[in-house]
Chain A
């Protein structure tokens, strides 16, 4: 029993280098790969639009990663790569939309709606508090007194 365990363990150890080799594909330049992955997280795959460029296995995503890698190797910094992509594909390629007049509603929308909600809430509460006391005329008051008296009689 312990013998076969040992063999299995040894086999496992033998297989380790192979597995380690597979875990880092195209590790030509780890610094560039790291930059590429970090940047690609914030970029949209144009084919499968809810995936990031880092996570997508679409053909175009692979091409774009290759393009980014080449540009990084050519010495472009992250902003230059992003500028290149937005000049080709527009702001849509960015997961985080840029801050400009067209996107003001997008950026301020949530705050705007919270503000509207808060105002409505506040106004409603205020109105309820300043509601005039219920109007009761003399006839109603007498009727109420009569009813109360009846109750007392029963008791």
Chain B
């Protein structure tokens, strides 16, 4: 028995390291899961005079995608978002985060607009309300306006299959 102690200690450490080192420190767990999405009212990009708030999406399951024209990683997921928008699976609402150079409208016209509507969070305060640490981040919000999932970093087809699809199925989309 005694000679196995170093081996047991090794196994325990190995398990701790395996779990600990494979965690992504950016994936800060959101305290919002299961809680109502914070309300806001922001101007809509490209439609002066119109404003958007999450209450307008009541009764729908939707994605809130936090992005910015200056965000390079957002370009990575742009293609997939376009594909998603074409499939019509869920409406994607864009939150244009801290677009100080006012480029969103022009950029979306150039590369294509996957968004149902784009809310303009110029000073980033709505982002803070949602606990945004960087772009891109995507939230799944259900019919009752409850946040069900927060995903940090670009959505890839793999991530979509693993994280989003099962949840959307559960939500009956």
Contacts and interface: CB of A to CB of B under 8 A. Distances in A.
Interface of A: 46-47, 49, 59-60, 63-64, 67, 86-90, 92
Contact of A67 (B98, B125, B130): B125
6 contacts: A46-B28, A46-B134, A59-B98, A63-B123, A64-B128, A88-B129
A86 B134 contact: no
B128 A92 contact: no
Contacts of A60: 124, 133-134
A39 B25 CA distance: 23
Which 8 A-B residue pairings sit nearest by Cβ, starting from the closest?
A46-B133, A88-B131, A90-B31, A89-B131, A92-B28, A63-B124, A67-B128, A90-B29
A89 B133 contact: yes
Contacts of A63: 98, 123-125, 127-128
A89 B28 contact: yes
B97 to A, nearest CB: 10
Interface string B1-29: 00000000000000000000000010011
B30 interface: yes
Q: DSSP class of A's interface residues: helix, strand, loop or mixed?
A: helix
A67 B98 CA distance: 14
Given A60-B133, A63-B123, A89-B131, 8 more contacts: A47-B133, A59-B98, A63-B125, A88-B129, A88-B131, A89-B133, A90-B28, A92-B29
A64 B132 CA distance: 11
Given A46-B28, A49-B25, A59-B98, A90 B131 contact: yes
Contacts, number: 38
B31 A88 contact: yes
Contacts of B130: 88
B99 to A, nearest CB: 13
Nearest to A44: B28
B128 A47 contact: no
A50 to B, nearest CB: 10
A47 B124 CA distance: 15
A121 B52 CA distance: 66
Contacts of A46: 28, 133-134
A92 B133 CA distance: 12
Contacts of A67: 125, 128
A67 B123 CA distance: 10
Contacts of B128: 63-64, 67, 88
A47 B135 CA distance: 11
Interface string B78-104: 000000000000000000001000000
A88 B147 CA distance: 12
A86 B31 contact: yes
Contacts of B98: 59, 63
Contacts of B28: 46, 89-90, 92
A74 B123 CA distance: 18
Nearest to B131: A88
Contacts of B127: 63
